[in-house]
């Protein structure tokens, strides 16, 4: 079983010397089923 891909953009767990907000209980993240799918366009296929 793999770990779910979750993200909390611009929210951090612990305040340090930066400008990001500290994560609160009402902050909800985005969870995804798997790693991001990438597709590179305009690459010729080997014939």
pLDDT digits (tens, 9 = 90+) for 8-24: 777 778 888 888 888 88
Q: Going by C-beta distance under 8 Å and a sequence separation of 6 or more, which residues neighbour residue 15?
A: 22
Residue from 26, 23, 4 nearest 15 by CA: 23
pLDDT band at residue 4 under the 50/70/90 scheme: low
Average pLDDT over the chain reads 78
Does residue 40 surpass a pLDDT of 70?
yes
Q: Going by C-beta distance under 8 Å and a sequence separation of 6 or more, which residues neighbour residue 14?
A: 22
How many whole angstroms separate alpha carbon 22 and alpha carbon 33?
26
Sorted by where each begins, the domain ranges of the chain are 1-32
- For the segment 41-45, the average pLDDT, to the nearest whole number, is 81
Does residue 2 surpass a pLDDT of 70?
no
Does residue 47 surpass a pLDDT of 80?
no
């Amino acid at each position: 079983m793999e770990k779910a891909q979750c993200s909390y953009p611009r929210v951090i767990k612990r305040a340090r010397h930066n400008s990001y907000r500290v994560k609160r209980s009402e902050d909800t993240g985005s969870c995804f089923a798997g790693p991001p799918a990438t597709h590179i366009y305009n690459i010729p296929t080997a014939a």
